[in-house]
Structure 1
Amino acid sequence: MKNYDVKEKLLQIMTEDEVKIDEPLSQYTYTKIGGNADYLLFPTTFEQLQQAYKIALLAEIPITILGNGSNVLIKDGGIRGAVFNLTKLADIRLEGDKVFAQSGAALIDTSRFALEQSLTGLEFACGIPGSIGGALYMNAGAYGGEIADVLESATVLTADGEIISVQKEDLELGYRTSNIAKNNYVVIEAVFQLQAGSYDVIKAKMDELTYLRESKQPLEYPSCGSVFKRPPGYFAGKLIQDSNLQGTKIGGAQVSTKHAGFIVNVDNATADDYISLIKHVQKTVKENYNVNLETEVRIIGEDK
């Protein structure tokens, strides 16, 4: 839409701190990589999110949703249009045996909240560094559990800016997938149906899973988490390891020597470094085992 001052409209509903112009996204991702966003927005309420979303729709600019940046790789050219960072929508509350978590809440914090209420079901999530919104987007899981096991419903913003409630069954949750992207939904809150349990038993399980994560994953380096989905009948990390790719570097990106399923930023890597290394790993594994490795990490943005 011509003659539509996006910044002016946004500042009528948001503060200067909540509207950042030409902001480097590398400050907001776990990889410490990413070019600039035209507009980076930090809504603090559902209503503010909805209003800002409709401003972007009226301005006919692209819209991108960013959680806490844990399972995303943003290209070096950054992202055009409006990027919504939802980390300020982070409230978690209890109603009976149901946990309500806003989209920007950390999945780890949500699992700890459940522990404090002696509610079982979210133990598997105690080491997953994503946000609630991102967890629903990809049906996050670990150690035999996944979001689909405990999710009851979600509140979402639709493509035309309306807020609706959807049941778990309507989200088509599968292995690291959902229809959230296809429907252009923005998750703003999730409802988890949990069960009463023993605090000590729940804590013991979470301590065990935390130990496994810390002992096996390269947490000492910036990374985007597990890069590839598990191919049917195989483990991505094992295929990469057996292809002698551990330690392989392109630029500042390296296949982790601790866990082959991770690519870590060891020396000021660029997104191009990451993407080139991902393609090299995919090509090598395909040549060696005729297995296609599909990325689990979400790659977005423009080339520099």
Structure 2
Amino acid sequence: MWFFVEVLVGGLMAGVMYSLVALGFVLIFKASSVFNFAQGVMVLFAALNFVGFLDMGIPVWLCFILAMGVMVLLSFVIERVVLRPLVNQPHISLFMATIGIAIFLEGFGEMLWGSSIKPLDVGIPDDVFFLGEAMIQQNDMFAAVVASVLVIALALFFHYTRIGRALRAVADDHQAALSIGIPLNHIWIIVWSVAGFVALVAGIMWGSKLGVQFSLTVLALKALPVLILGGFTSIPGAIVGGLIIGAGEKLSEIYLVDAIQSFYPSFSGAIEEWFAYILALAFLVFRPQGLFGEKIIERV
């Protein structure tokens, strides 16, 4: 019983981290209706800048401010160089632009900071404590609390602020938003900056646990199945989808592997690596809008 609780809690905490990364995708999608393929690389790029400043002997709090400044500057450059020329263009053009941004940031980050794995220690506790007889990692709990607070703050930001309403208007129609006085360029800088902030927090949390390395981009893309489950425009969906993916992959790796191996002994396991994508594929077949996404009906 307590082992099940331990696995479940570990999965839920990993799921909260997936939700945090997925929020960056949701923010960009809400503002442009385009999937930002570069979000995973933004997590890596933000973490590389943070640990690079940290290696210079700069205090942690100032490293965070400097790294956030880099992400804001990056948002400004992306708006001026990439997004502004593509206003009201087909969504596939914007999507392809984010692929270009991802490739550039990955190469630029490696050129600036190198490709080696960089350990990151910001003082997050790494001891364990016991919930009954279940062993819980303190760093997982800390990351889950930070991610939860950020998720709640962003949800309130989107639903109860003027900027949040402007973001939704921009996502619906770029030209219509411009016609009623919404400054599209400012909105895009704001939303990419917020997505950069989310990427920085996620990069620090993951980097503290695994080290800052280029495989973080692959890990960050685990947020894609989270979006498919929850819905591309839903912040609550990102939360629920992350929890389902996190808990599901951990439980399946322990219990489903044992069940399959009892019938097929040569089964190697590793369900955790592909569970999220198989579940997302099932949702694409039976409920493509996700749990909380709106069903789109086009009338002709």
TM above 0.5, yes or no, is: no
Say which structure, 1 or 2, has more relative contact order (CA 8 Å, 6+ apart): 2
User: Normalising by the residue count of structure 2, what TM-score does the alignment of the two structures yield?
Assistant: 0.27
More helix by share: 2
More strand by share: 1
